Amino acid sequence: MTVSLFEPFRLGDFTLANRIVMAPLTRRRATHGTNAANALMAEHYRQRASAGLIIAEASQISQQGQGYAYTPGIYSPEQVAGWREVTEAVHAAGGHIVLQLWHVGRVSHVSLQPGGGAPVAPSAIATTKQVAIETGAADCSAPRALELGEIPGLIADYRKAARNAKEAGFDGVEVHCANGYLIDEFLRDGSNKREDAYGGAPQNRARFGLEVVDAVLQEWDASRVGVRISPVSPVYDMSDSDPQSVFGYFVERLAEKKLGFLHVIEGATQGPRDVAPFDYLALRKSFPGAYIANNAYTLELAQETLASGRADLIAFGRPFISNPDLVERLRRRAPLTEVDFETVYGAGARGYTDYPTLTA
């Protein structure tokens, strides 16, 4: 049977209009001072509501979870109210939207942390990369290793954020376990050198992420919860000696929880798909929920992947930045507008809500 990118898909208890997912895209447009979503962001997401599913940009679960200036949070009343404006706009336009729950771990700077403290990580191992703070680009600050006694509080922050996302009107949540951020740092042995119950064997390194998911499931039905992973992406100096083992185990355990979807970055984040060998099909076979494939998908590759059964849904990231009507453009095989990379981050309406549609 031929599967089309443009046909409906049943995800849990709601039906998506098509199999196109708008991937989460950090854009740094949150309100200065409160890090709350706002009317500009509501318009941005409303314009893109023709996607079968929108995964809203990563949102920090606490101030400690923030790694860049002006990214939105989901831990304060102002932030919940701001996101409610976004979800209402998307729903009014007929779309579905879930929120990505985020803690950056070591990918941060002291100026963004409570009391100017060090960022936290599974181990005190720094990344050599930079983040954007209010004054410009800055080297990531050296992290400190989390104390064992701090971990329950972190897990509680995820649960509260999940509850806040429901209050804000989202259709579900995605737990961010990818791209070199906190849960990914626990999963991979290049960044996790712990010698307690959260380090060492793959089963131990997966423990924190699984406990976070369990906490989120206290607030949401499993069909409304997804997880994002990036098994071989080297982003933010990430590495693992045997990614197939740890991510294979992690996904097998997630499968037992009957989650709604698994969102997989195949290859390097914003980079080549073939950066390292990995059997993604093994993840697909072991996970009974929807499989969302992500990274540099073209229309042709997306259609071929769906037809082969290797994925149920295809996530597009950068094309959605500059093509609010991406679904219609793909359907018509129309040219895509190129991204203005100078306006991707924190530039107000310019390069955010002013990209034209085909009809315009």
Active-site residue set: 181
Helical H segments across the chain, by residue range: 39-47, 77-92, 151-167, 182-187, 202-205, 207-216, 243-256, 280-286, 299-308, 318-322, 326-332
Burial bucket for residue 321 (CB in 10 Å: 0-12, 13-18, 19+) = buried
In this structure, is the dihedral angle defined by the CA atoms of residues 124, 59, 257 and 16, taken in order, positive or negative? negative
Burial bucket for residue 256 (CB in 10 Å: 0-12, 13-18, 19+) = exposed
Angle between helices 207-216 and 151-167 (to 10 degrees): 40
Give the whole-angstrom CA distance, residue 256 versus residue 286: 10
3-state secondary structure of 30: coil
Q: Which amino acid is it at 42?
A: A
3-state secondary structure of 121: strand
Give the whole-angstrom CA distance, residue 161 versus residue 73: 9
Among residues 170, 249, 174, 156, which one has the least CA distance to residue 211? 156
Q: Are the beta carbons of 348 and 29 closer than 8 angstroms?
A: yes
The CA radius of gyration of the chain, in Å to the nearest whole number, is 19
Q: Are the beta carbons of 49 and 136 closer than 8 angstroms?
A: no
Among residues 161, 66, 73, which one has the least CA distance to residue 105? 66
